[in-house]
Amino acid sequence: MTDAADFAAQLSALRKHYARQIEGTLDELATRVAGHEAGRVHREILVELHADLHKLAGSGGTFGFSELSRQARRLEVTAKAWLDGSIVPDLVQWEAWKADLLRLRRTLEVPDIKAEATAPMPRPEPEQEKPIRVVLIEDDEAAGAELSKGLGQFGYEAIHYTNFAEAEITILADPPDVLVADIILLTQVSVEGTDAATLLYNRLGYLLPTIFITSRADFSARLAAAKAGGSACLIKPVDIPVLARCITMLQQEREFEPYRVLIVDDDEGLAEHYRLTLMSAGMLAEKVCRPKEVLAALQKFHPDILLIDLYMPECTGAQLARAIRYEDMWLSTPIIYLSAEDDLDEQVKALDIGGGDDFLTKPIVDQKLVAVVRTRAARARKVDELMSKDSLTGLLKHSSIKERIEQEFERARRHGKIMSMAMVDMDHFKRVNDTWGHPMGDQVIKTLAHLLRQRLRRQDSIGRYGGEEFAVVLPECDAADAMKLLDDVRLRFGDIRFVHNGQSFTVTLSAGVADSEQCADAQSLLAAADAALYVAKNDGRNQVCRFEDVAGSASQ
Amino acid sequence: MNLKRILYVEDEPDIQVVAKLALEMVGGYQVMICSGGQEALDKVGGFAPDLILLDVMMPGMDGPTTLQNLRAGSATAAIPVIFLTAKVQPAEVKQYQALGALNVIAKPFDPMTLAAQVQGIWERKS
């Protein structure tokens, strides 16, 4: 028996075993809820039921019963809300919930189709990055369809519903990353005695990232959106690039990297206490007890911020800070001194000579430590980002992307791999500025930046090379694949309609692509991509050209 | 570094069996199963895994607490951890990542692709 067939056979046996066993579990659940009435059901029973439903939700799909997982998940969410005390079930709700629970057995009759087939063994390939899921609630059928199509062009997976009742099940069973909803449909439609926005918050237990859309541009619409916890409020007809940017910003807030803190204190117990305090506040912290180990720790750990004890046996904290600042790399990293010293003069002196940023006086209240470190680290990150990124697009600046081209070129050479790059330039951009004004031109630039970020892989780098020119670096990708990728971006970008004062227009782009096989160094790679872009422009624009084609046509 | 040894912490026997099967036969990894957080802390030193998969909701010591304990031990602080949970809500994912987890895999997982999912997260971590 081959491994694949063996695996399929064993899996199939496990599924049968699970199905047999789960029938018993479901029967037992049914017996437990029978006879209980709303308001009379004991909390302990609800706790048990919740735990069992949670297990079913988490296991059913693994054994080929996805429907069981979905239904159990819905029941679990409701039970959780009851347990939290946010909603007390009335008789009707309780009976409906019970009936759904009894119906769980039926889901065993509809096993997943793919689970039945002996599927061939897949090679473990890197997980595909999941698209961002958006649920859209808009009662205008045509406008909703248009919006979800538009979001699709940006690579989002949008599902459109025309009312809250239909969307509710999807949202609760499998919460989307972002909700986009007409403000009226979410705040002025009454569901179970409350508005839909409050209901969602109660059931989910957290505020779903929400963007409201409205046809009224007045203050009361904005206020309603703010009251319902919306992250943004956009006026209809919705400008799709603007909506896409809002969604991405919400997403980025969530993909937050924890702050990194390096603690330098000769008192190991105290250092460990600070470390644990910061870790439990969600930061990554490391401690060093001897000043001479600091430089190595800095190199390895790359902290966002340093906490240094002022008095240590080998040197003072201020002297250590000064030694650290000798290296340009750590010039902007904030340094906070920790000390029992409450003499103001001493503190000022330490700030003067070492270039530290602040003082915390021991004993330090945990909350204060966390608050001070967090604020400083947040600001340091922001500054760092501003220094390396273009303010309009959030992409790498000219100098940073050039550096990246060199780094990736060298890396590809070292590992015997191929990499490619592309120069992307908008067609007739000056006309956009002249006809629609500079603010609109900026809008178009931001949209292309956004689309590139959406369509490229995580390991790719994108920079704003000049006014309307972008450079893209694609590691482990040859020119042929880069062509496909850029051509896809070209088509999508050309489809995007920009709206200004009720009039709409589209913009096209040209791109030139080259890969590292064709070039001796990063400089000539850049020149090759530039040459290819030049040909694309001369050849009528709105196309992607490859350096090979360019070289070929030149020699003909 | 190649991913070879995985410690999987999960209280449910059904899931333990299928996960071990999927990770060993499809992924070719060496897998050790623990039924709870405390057992994991006891055995992690002996097994020296490259990666730990942690169920979030477990009786006794839950996933997040187990992670905090792992992070507090000097030998185990650096071992990457992936959470498995049926409740993948954005706020939680953020919270788990803030605790230092690499990522979160949603339950129910598909046994056919679990190994690929784990491998994908492993490769992206650098």
- State whether A40 and A55 are in the same domain: yes
- Residue A65's pLDDT is 86
Test A127 with B95 for CB contact under 8 angstroms: no
- State whether A276 and A333 are in the same domain: yes
Q: Is A226 or A536 the better-scoring residue by pLDDT? A: A536
What percentage of chain A has pLDDT greater than the value 70?
Answer: 91
Domain containing A147 equals 133-254
Q: Which residues make Cβ contacts (< 8 Å) with residue B83, sequence separation at least 6?
A: B53, B54, B55, B56, B63, B67, B96, B101, B103, B104, B105
CATH of the domain at A191: 3.40.50.2300
Identify the top-confidence range among A86-95, A340-349, A404-413: A404-413
- Residue A371: strand, helix, or coil: helix
- State whether A509 and A405 are in the same domain: yes
The predicted-structure confidence for A212-260, as pLDDT tens digits, reads as follows 999 988 888 888 888 888 888 999 888 888 898 888 877 766 666 788 9
- State whether A414 and A505 are in the same domain: yes
Q: Which residue, of A63, A82, A116, is where some domain finishes?
A: A116
CATH of the domain at A531: 3.30.70.270
- State whether A226 and A290 are in the same domain: no
C-alpha–C-alpha distance, residues A432 and A447, integer Å: 14
Helices (H), strands (E): how many in chain B?
5, 5
Helix pair A398-414, A522-538: axis angle to 10 deg? 120
- State whether A155 and A248 are in the same domain: yes
Test B100 with A279 for CB contact under 8 angstroms: yes
The closest CB to that of B98, out of A11, A76, A282, belongs to: A282
A221 with A214: CB under 8 angstroms? yes
Residue A470: strand pairing partners: A424, A464
- State whether A534 and A510 are in the same domain: yes
Our CA-based measurement puts residue A370 at a distance from the nearest CA of chain B, in whole angstroms, of 14
Q: Measured between beta carbons, which residues in chain B are less than 8 angstroms from residue A282?
A: 95, 98-99
- State whether A415 and A538 are in the same domain: yes
Task: Please give the order of strands across the beta sheet that includes A544-546.
Answer: A461-464, A469-475, A419-426, A509-515, A544-546
Residue A393 in any domain: the answer is no
Q: Single out the residue of A260, A241, A312 nearest to residue A507, CA to CA.
A: A241
The residue-averaged pLDDT of A261-273 equals: 90
Residue given tokens 């439609």 in the structure block = A189
Q: Measured between beta carbons, which residues in chain B are less than 8 angstroms from residue A259?
A: none
- State whether A406 and A549 are in the same domain: yes
C-alpha–C-alpha distance, residues A229 and A10, integer Å: 49
- State whether A246 and A336 are in the same domain: no
Q: Which residue, of A361, A388, A415, is where some domain finishes?
A: A388
For chain B, which residues make up each domain, given as ranges? 5-124
Q: Single out the residue of B21, B66, B73, B18 nearest to residue B45, CA to CA.
A: B73
C-alpha–C-alpha distance, residues A303 and A260, integer Å: 5
Residue A125 in any domain: the answer is no
Integer CA distances (angstroms), A400 to A387, A406, A513, B21, in order? 10, 10, 20, 46
Q: Measured between beta carbons, which residues in chain B are less than 8 angstroms from residue A74?
A: none
- Give the chain B residue nearest A278 (alpha carbons): B99
The helix (H) or strand (E) run that includes residue A27 is helix A3-33
Evaluate if residue A417 carries a pLDDT over 80: yes
The predicted-structure confidence for A290-309, as pLDDT tens digits, reads as follows 998 998 898 888 899 999 99
The residue-averaged pLDDT of A453-466 equals: 87
C-alpha–C-alpha distance, residues B55 and B81, integer Å: 10
Question: How many of the other CB atoms lie within 10 Å of CB of A191?
Answer: 15
Our CA-based measurement puts residue A218 at a distance from the nearest CA of chain B, in whole angstroms, of 31
- Give the chain A residue nearest B64 (alpha carbons): A280
- State whether A82 and A168 are in the same domain: no
DSSP secondary-structure letter at A501?
T
B56 with B62: CB under 8 angstroms? yes
The predicted-structure confidence for A494-526, as pLDDT tens digits, reads as follows 998 888 888 889 999 999 999 998 788 898 999
What angle is formed at CA B122 by the lines to CA B118 and CA B126, rounded to 5 degrees?
A: 160
Lowest mean pLDDT among A121-135, A249-263, A436-450, A525-539: A121-135
- State whether A144 and A211 are in the same domain: yes
A471 with A423: CB under 8 angstroms? yes
The residue-averaged pLDDT of A101-112 equals: 81
Residue A128 in any domain: the answer is no
Q: Does domain B5-124 have CATH number 3.40.50.1580?
A: no
Q: Looking at the 3D structure of chain A, how many domains does it have? A: 4
Residue A475 in any domain: the answer is yes
